[in-house]
A and B are shown apart, each in its own frame.
Chain A
Amino acid sequence: MKVKVNDTELELAPGTSAIDAVFAAGYDVPYFCSQEYMSPIGACRMCLAKVGAPRQDRATGEWILDEETGEPKIFYFPTLMATCTTAIMEGMVIDTLSDEVRGAQNGMVEFTLINHPLDCPVCDKGGACELQDRAYEYGSGLSRFRFDKRHQEKHHALSELITLDRERCIHCKRCVRYFEEVPGDEVLDFIERGGHTYIGTLGEGLPSNFTGNITDICPVGALLDATSRFRGRNWEYDHTRTTGLDDASGSAIIVDARTGRIERIKAALNAEVNKSWIDDGTRFGHEYVDAEDRIKTPLVRKEGELVPVTWEEATGYVKAKLEGIADKELGIVLRADATLEEGVAAKALADHLQTGQLDHCPRPKASVLPEGDAARFTDLATADAIFVIGDVSEEVPAVDLRIKDALKGVSPPASLPHGVPIADLRLKERMPRKAGLLTVAAPYRVDLMRHAGRSVCYPVGGETAFLSALVKLATVEDELSEEEVAALGMPVDEGRALIERLAQAQNAVIVYGSFVLASPAARNAVIALAKAVKAKVMVMGPMANSYGLEAIGVMPSHARYSYQQMIRGGAKALILSGLDPAQDPSVAEALKDLELLVVHHHFANATTALADVVLPAKTGYEKDGTVVNLEGRYLPVRSAPVDGGQSEDFTGLVRYLGEALGVRLDGRSTRSAKRALNHLLAVDLRDLPDEGLLAKAKSRPLRRVSVKEQEAVSGNVLLVPSMVRPEFVSRNPQLRAAFGDVALCLHPDDADQMKLVGGERVRLSVDGTLRKATVRVSETVPQGIMLLPATPEQPVGLVSADLATLVKESSELEVA
């Protein structure tokens, strides 16, 4: 459609909003309430413009012409229009520059400021505030208000993580709409009317994993990140755009650091991945980086004590020790959120030392790589049938939000010259959701089930049987046996209906995560199911770079060389990065027999207590490198200016160790690692764009290990994925305050039987490792099983706990 904005004519797709037309033409119009990816509602009236269009004669269909010029006559709307809620029409004329429009904009700025406290000097939004900017650009610069303004609560804690200043709110309704439209929970709303209106919740807190996003979208300083309260002004932060390493989504984030500390993390826009939303684990889970007790220098054990040394001395010591150790007896293990560059460095080191004992952890028993190409986030958002096995809102929360996009049935908006449309007119408040296209299966009730048309709780530990039964339904005509029906966890008709829905869909996607990956047979079954119903698959690996590390082959050359074997006597010397296996006393015993234990970590822990050499490790916010997210997308990781002392990532470790050994190894720097990766994958990883790069890998896994079938059949504790990483909970006090401690969830009947009440602190030996947790009682847990968050050392799966070891520490609070 042809539209004319001031003097610029342009062609736009029908359905575009007038505000987007203005921006596409390169003009500006102020706005507060519209927001990318949310419904335009015309609440702030700031985007006014003079709008008109030619008209057709109803009888003849001819354009009504202006008698003087002979051109089609423009009929202007009788008042100025809110451009965000106006769709463009053929021949529309939009005027944003006339005195009339300017006057109206000025008036609206003044009106918006009537009750605004103007406490910009103490406001954390100051300097990055939409109201400040628009008042500066479009206001008169003078105040005529000589009266006392509205007074409301200035420090209302909406949750432990978010503070609301009700005086500053300009009632744009973005936060209210956000909760209903994006995570799909109506939490906030306007209370009272007129000048007394304020934002409030019904109950206490914000029950969602995605609360922090409202602090990004609030156009003023009404909703603020409580964790960075008063920590710095917006212009004082160093903003680093990078990729979050909290989960496998590869969500884009902006790390704001000041004087060597991370003060806050905000969501960045990556239209193809996380849009502009991130979960609270990614946003608030960074406090451990600046913990007081971080290890910042290399340490070497001398006469039983770890003493600070230089990197050269530490690696010299390692080299001397390595001389006595035969090839193949050294093990190298990375944490699965290590970058590709670190992976290359580890491989180069292992090759040089001629050992096949190389692994990453946690590495599920089954491959995290999909057969063929992985489903992309856009496939998920446009899918017409989705089958989820697992707990997405905890495993990879970004997937949860993209599934909810699909439920709305609105495909991702096409990009305009100015980027994502500001007002997508297809989005509405309280849209009907197509819950029917979503089926969620998990061993216990998970959050996403509230939004699913069909939800199934299959028996705990029964993934293989459950999926095999579905495969049978999909491929064979036979009736299911009684056992198979039991494994299905739902009536057979329901199962058939699910298969039919998936098979008939144009774009079906099957999403599975750690529960399925815990068993190769279950994974094979799900792949067979996907083939049978012609669905794409999306695999939620346990950590940020599980996909990438497996793809480049940071893997043992033989099953007997896996991490689990190495730490139980398989290796004589070990280099462990980011892991703490000695929490398990039996492993600790085995580690004591090692000739050399090198631990590369941020904190002192049970394993560093046994180590000969401790090397300070960079956190995911300090590294430079590349990760591969669950779509197979290469995403850049960039270092924020954080004071990590002498910390190095694994490439740094290999550089120092290589120097000591007198070799120049691949991966001794991110540059040399990128060169090696270019050879390996045929992808140039230098200067990756912000939104990442989807490239087909040249080579597939080099060393695939076939793991013998070894199904966990019994156990009383199910280790489950969680958004808040339990290993860092104690060093993330604010996140802990909001989301609670590591929780041991059990069914009320079990709790009664074990004489436990909610809120009690307990210690329990789980699969040999002593775990501390707070009891949470919930109906969503099946009877006879307890849920506990998995750690890298204790990955997702069914294990047994010795209930005789259960000790109550103290009861902090009673939870009703």
Chain B
Amino acid sequence: MSVLDIAKGMGVTLGHLFKRPVTVRYPEQPVDVKPRFRGRHHLLRHPSGLEKCIGCSLCAAACPAYAIYVEAAENDPDDPVSPGERYASIYEINMLRCIFCGMCEEACPTGAIVLGHEFELADFVYQDFTYGKDDMLVGVMGSKWQRREATQKGRDVRVGLSSGPRPELEGVDY
């Protein structure tokens, strides 16, 4: 290895010293993710407000990680939860098992389950990784922990995300 080579290498380093850094000051500053990034799931609603999910369990069948559990029930025709006869009375995803592959999204016949952009899912207790309908229905922002912190401190939920939701998340009210 000649002195010249060393100088070349140092030159690269030197050149980068004066460039704009690519790292960001996360978590002080929010980050951007790519449009097709797959993060925490959202359960969507129809424009009428009815839930899109019909409790068919096809997402659970497609899930390679067995992360989804669905229990269905019959809609009260006078006060339906979803269009048609059937809705999901229990819809749970275990975020520890989930590998964020997006198979559930692909399997869903109604476009009810969609992987969003949120990625900060760390938490402390095993049970808290099981997300139910209340944690995933569209409009709910942040992970369980982020929402808990927000209530405790009496402030808005803060997510470290600057790119909005995925374009697929129609009607999402962020």
Binding site for B on A (CB under 8 A): 119, 121-122, 126, 154-155, 229-233, 235-236
Contacts and interface: CB of A to CB of B under 8 A. Distances in A.
A286 to B, nearest CB: 19
Contacts of A235: 61
B54 A121 contact: yes
B61 A233 contact: yes
B51 to A, nearest CB: 13
B61 A122 contact: no
Contacts of A155: 85
A236 B57 contact: yes
Contacts of B60: 236
Nearest to B107: A121
Contacts of B84: 119, 122
Given A155-B85, A230-B86, A122 B57 contact: no
26 contacts: A119-B84, A121-B54, A121-B58, A121-B109, A121-B110, A122-B54, A122-B55, A122-B56, A122-B85, A122-B86, A126-B56, A154-B85, A229-B74, A230-B72, A230-B73, A230-B74, A230-B86, A231-B72, A232-B57, A233-B56, A233-B57, A233-B61, A235-B61, A236-B57, A236-B60, A236-B61
Interface string B108-141: 0110000000000000000000000000000000
Contacts of A233: 56-57, 61
A122 B88 CA distance: 11
Contacts of B56: 121-122, 126, 233
Interface in B58-109: 58, 60-61, 71-74, 84-86, 109
A538 B58 CA distance: 49
Interface string B27-66: 0000000000000000000000000001111101100000
A627 B89 CA distance: 39
Contacts of B74: 229-230
Contacts of B61: 233, 235-236
Given A122-B55, A231-B71, 20 more contacts: A121-B56, A121-B58, A121-B110, A122-B54, A122-B56, A122-B85, A122-B86, A155-B85, A229-B74, A230-B55, A230-B72, A230-B73, A230-B85, A232-B57, A232-B71, A233-B57, A233-B61, A235-B61, A236-B57, A236-B60
Nearest to A229: B74
Nearest to A121: B56
A155 B85 CA distance: 9
Interface of B: 54-58, 60-61, 71-74, 84-86, 109-110
Contacts of B110: 121
A126 B54 CA distance: 14
- Which 9 pairs of residues, A with B, have the shortest CB-CB distance? A121-B56, A230-B72, A122-B86, A233-B57, A121-B109, A230-B86, A122-B54, A230-B74, A230-B73
Nearest to A127: B61
A458 to B, nearest CB: 49
A359 B71 CA distance: 44
Question: In the complex, which of the residues A230, A232, A233, A235 has the most CB atoms of chain B within 10 Å of its own CB atom?
Answer: A230
A338 B138 CA distance: 53
Contacts of B85: 122, 154-155, 230
A126 B110 CA distance: 16
B56 to A, nearest CB: 4
Contacts of A154: 85
B46 to A, nearest CB: 15
B37 to A, nearest CB: 28
A236 B61 CA distance: 8
Nearest to B55: A230
Nearest to B110: A121
A813 B73 CA distance: 30
A780 B166 CA distance: 71
A119 B109 CA distance: 10
B68 to A, nearest CB: 11
A235 B60 CA distance: 11
A229 B73 CA distance: 8
A814 to B, nearest CB: 29
Nearest to A233: B57
Contacts of B71: 231-232
Contacts of B58: 121
A355 B73 CA distance: 53
B117 to A, nearest CB: 27
A250 to B, nearest CB: 34
A126 B71 CA distance: 15
Contacts of B57: 232-233, 236
A155 B78 CA distance: 15
B44 to A, nearest CB: 16
Contacts of A126: 56
A232 B90 CA distance: 12
Nearest to A126: B56
B76 to A, nearest CB: 12
Question: In the complex, which of the residues B61, B86, B110 has the most CB atoms of chain A within 10 Å of its own CB atom?
Answer: B86
Nearest to B57: A233
A233 B109 CA distance: 15
Question: In the complex, which of the residues A154, A233, A235 has the most CB atoms of chain B within 10 Å of its own CB atom?
Answer: A233
A230 B85 CA distance: 10
B113 to A, nearest CB: 13
B127 to A, nearest CB: 17
A351 to B, nearest CB: 48
A126 B57 CA distance: 11
A230 B109 CA distance: 17
A257 to B, nearest CB: 14
Contacts of B86: 122, 230
Nearest to B58: A121
A110 B109 CA distance: 21
A167 to B, nearest CB: 12
Contacts of A122: 54-56, 84-86
Contacts of B54: 121-122
Contacts of B73: 230
Contacts of A236: 57, 60-61
A229 B60 CA distance: 19
Nearest to B77: A155
A155 B86 CA distance: 12
Contacts of B109: 121
Question: In the complex, which of the residues B54, B57, B74 has the most CB atoms of chain A within 10 Å of its own CB atom?
Answer: B57
Nearest to B60: A236
A232 B88 CA distance: 11
A800 to B, nearest CB: 47
Nearest to A165: B85
Question: In the complex, which of the residues A121, A155, A232, A235 has the most CB atoms of chain B within 10 Å of its own CB atom?
Answer: A121
Nearest to A230: B72
Nearest to B84: A122
Nearest to B56: A121
Contacts of B72: 230-231
A258 to B, nearest CB: 9
B43 to A, nearest CB: 15
A119 B85 CA distance: 11
A5 to B, nearest CB: 36
B61 to A, nearest CB: 6
A157 to B, nearest CB: 12
A154 B72 CA distance: 18
A121 B58 CA distance: 7
A637 B88 CA distance: 34
Nearest to B61: A235
A478 B114 CA distance: 89
A473 B109 CA distance: 73
A121 B54 CA distance: 8
B16 to A, nearest CB: 54
A155 to B, nearest CB: 7
A802 to B, nearest CB: 46
Nearest to B75: A230
Nearest to A122: B86
A263 to B, nearest CB: 11
Nearest to B73: A230
A233 B69 CA distance: 12
Question: In the complex, which of the residues A122, A126, A232 has the most CB atoms of chain B within 10 Å of its own CB atom?
Answer: A122
